[in-house]
Amino acid sequence: MGLFDKIFRRNKNIIELKEEDLLDPMPENEPENATPDEPEKVYHLDGAMYFGAASMDEARMKTRLALRNAARGFSEDEDEFDISFREHISAISSISSFDGDAGLGYKLTDDEANALEGFGYQLKLTFSGSDEDTFREETGRLITAIKEDLGGFGILDGESVGLAENIETTEKTAQAETIDLSDLPEGSRGKTIAGLRTHGIFEPVSAREGLLGDENYPRNENDVLKRAAGLLFTALTAMSAPVPGQTLPVGRYSALLAKLSDRYAVKDTLTAKETEYIKQPGVAGKATMSLKTEAAALLLWYLGLWELPWADTSSDISELAGMLSPAGMEETLSRARPRSRGEIEDMYDLTVCQHWLTVRMSLNELSGIALDPDIIYARHYALNWLMRVGGKKKWDSVVPTT
């Protein structure tokens, strides 16, 4: 008996083969001249978007929102995106700062040249597709849609796709020229003042710098994610509670609430006040509990899962909840990239100064500033809890002060 006979006869319930069967070079029903299928041809186009943002964080946030509107799905790694648009169109892209020299290789119009001088970030894209007949046309539509959402200027395959509608090019350029950053202090306070100035806020800020000491360090990532999930669950519950005269869609947010309840066990992480409200959600407390969305946004920012918009724009609760994987805690934590100490210190100082400015607004000392007091208070609250400011207090005991 040959070697192959011995091996395969050990378990006759599985298979019984002879050595000569295995040595047969080709089945009888397969022609000897068969050739493998040719690989599908893939086409590529390079594109770029140029747009304005106050910081890299804001640039990433604007890009993420634009891609959500245009793409079927995407994944990201720091400043890079892997995007799926259609069944036969995908792209890879990266964000970087931009100094005004795009090297486009053709003559810009006056409006395009003026706009380009006012933009500070670029999004480079390499599109790939397999349908030659529609690839160029569909890619053109996609990059035009992204351009409009970013409010910028786009090119595709070396050709302009124009400016987004209603870009006030001369005003943007003039505003950039009026911002003098040469007199800024070093460190977080200098970055705070620069950020405020780019949003047209030139008012003096709090003399108290938002300094964090050695006793202020981030809480455990697992605890931070649990707290964010609890905040989102509470906010979604509050936003689902109608007020007199208001009719809400049946089942509003029900899928998100079910995901948080089942996969994140949020009811075990809620505070006493949150638990009390959820037992009987209603008008009383609705606004306060809904505001927990912004606190959750700050915690997800710390985990590297979210980019905070400027503090006059609310974060979308459905998009925030979408950052939490349906698979549960472990999967979401595997994607988390907690912020560095320097990034946290910069955010803390900026938030303290923003809070101080909104206090002055409430005292009628200031008006017309692009800051939302509620958003800033929620962020300050979450930062204090995250970094144990004032001691390792429970959530309901945090008191953010300026």
Tens of pLDDT, residue by residue over 151-169, are: 888 888 888 888 888 665 4
CATH code for the part of the protein at 47-163: 3.30.310
Tens of pLDDT, residue by residue over 87-109, are: 788 899 999 888 766 666 667 78
Q: What are the beta bridge partners of residue 45? A: 127
Joined tokens for residue 253: 């947010």
3-class DSSP state for residue 215? coil
Could you tell me where in the chain the CATH 3.30.310 domains are found?
47-163
Contact 149, 141 (CB under 8 A): no
* Range in 77-81, 307-311, 315-319 with the lowest mean pLDDT: 77-81
Tens of pLDDT, residue by residue over 331-371, are: 999 999 999 999 999 999 999 999 999 999 988 888 888 99
Closest CA to 48 of 107, 123, 120: 123
Q: In which residue are the tokens 């003042």 written? A: 193
- Quote the CA–CA distance of 273 and 209 in Å, as a whole number: 32
Identify the pLDDT of residue 174.
36
Joined tokens for residue 398: 């945090």
> Mean pLDDT, the chain, as a whole number?
82
DSSP at 46: E
Residues in the chain, overall count: 402
Tens of pLDDT, residue by residue over 210-231, are: 789 999 999 999 999 999 999 9
Identify the pLDDT of residue 19.
45
Confidence band of 275 (pLDDT split at 50, 70, 90): very high
Identify the pLDDT of residue 8.
37
Confidence band of 184 (pLDDT split at 50, 70, 90): confident
Q: Could you tell me the CA-to-CA distances from 330 to 225, 318, 320, 362 in Å, in that order?
A: 10, 20, 17, 42
Identify the pLDDT of residue 349.
94
Confidence band of 237 (pLDDT split at 50, 70, 90): very high
Identify the pLDDT of residue 171.
42
Checking if the pLDDT of 23 tops 50, the result is no
Q: Which residues contact 195 (CB under 8 A, 6 or more apart)?
A: 54, 55, 350
- Quote the CA–CA distance of 286 and 289 in Å, as a whole number: 5
- Quote the CA–CA distance of 96 and 125 in Å, as a whole number: 12
Q: By percentage, how much of the chain surpasses pLDDT 70?
A: 82
Tens of pLDDT, residue by residue over 108-160, are: 788 888 888 888 899 999 999 887 778 888 888 899 889 888 888 888 888 88
Rg (CA), the chain: 28
Checking if the pLDDT of 277 tops 90, the result is yes
Identify the pLDDT of residue 37.
58
Average pLDDT over residues 192-217: 86
Identify the pLDDT of residue 295.
98
- Quote the CA–CA distance of 205 and 226 in Å, as a whole number: 34
Contact 341, 188 (CB under 8 A): no
Contact 95, 60 (CB under 8 A): yes
Checking if the pLDDT of 9 tops 80, the result is no
